[in-house]
Amino acid sequence: MKAVALLAFVFVALSARAPQANIGCRGCDEVTWGYPESGLFSRYIAHADKTTPDGIRYDDSGQSVSPAVIDRLTNEVERCLFARFPERLSDVAAAQAYCYGDLRFRTIDRRSFVVKVASDWRLTCNGQQQVLPVEAPANGCAAKGQTTTPECPCSYRAGIRCPNVLVVTPSLYIYKDVLIRFLYDCADPWANKDLAACATPSTSPL
């Protein structure tokens, strides 16, 4: 019995130190990803019955989305992260962007998350971007120089639902942002210049 108990203790201890398999889901508190509260994107249920050529599962919700573009954007993030952080995120980048996950660089596990393309998106009041019907803190829009009103509230353009659903609009404009948040448990990739470069959109906002 003592031997069994000792083996069980060793197994638990090693498991506690082992890297998380899904580095975007430690305890799965969406606040970790920079959202003011958990559950903001709970309305989005992913029925990921489609797969991109590179193996990323996605639910297009009947929207017109190219799976090849999802792969392209993912590859761009992977190449950018490797070029700027070939071994791990720097301590400076992690501190500036509030990243609390495993900071080592790794090839993106394309089976660790699913992409949900929302069908309930709308255009901003100026008609320049696609947004989700999920209200965001007004100071976020103010920081971007955008004016908000009760008729045109500040809204998220993408988000993450626990444990691993990346919610985007059909333009995929902010896909890179939520992918980086998910990968490293970052609350603000834009606060570090290197992560911001990797998160910069490379699709049209419409």
Whole-Å CA distances, 188 to 107, 178, 192, 195, 200: 21, 10, 8, 9, 13
Output DSSP code: residue 131.
Answer: E
Name which of 25, 64, 201, 45 is nearest 116 in CA terms: 45
Q: Which residue has the higher pLDDT, 154 or 142?
A: 154
- For the stretch 108-144, what's the b/e string if a residue is b when 16 or more beta carbons lie within 10 angstroms of its beta carbon? bebebbbbbbbeebeebeeeebbbbebebeeeebeee
Q: Where are the beta strands (DSSP E) in the chain?
A: 50-51, 57-59, 114-117, 122-123, 130-131, 158-161, 165-168
Q: Tell me the HSE value of 155 on the side-chain side, using a 13 A CA sphere.
A: 20
Q: Output the pTM of the full model.
A: 0.85
Per-residue pLDDT tens digits for 101-139: 999 999 999 999 999 999 999 999 889 999 999 999 988
Per-residue pLDDT tens digits for 6-30: 333 333 333 322 223 333 344 689 9
Per-residue pLDDT tens digits for 183-197: 999 999 999 999 999
Name which of 87, 80, 59, 51 is nearest 198 in CA terms: 80
Residue 193: phi and psi, rounded to 5, are: -65, -35
Q: Which residues contact 57 (CB under 8 A, 6 or more apart)?
A: 48, 50, 51, 111, 114, 115
Q: Contact at 8 Å (CB) between 168 and 116? A: yes
Task: Sketch the domain layout of the chain as residue ranges.
Answer: 40-199
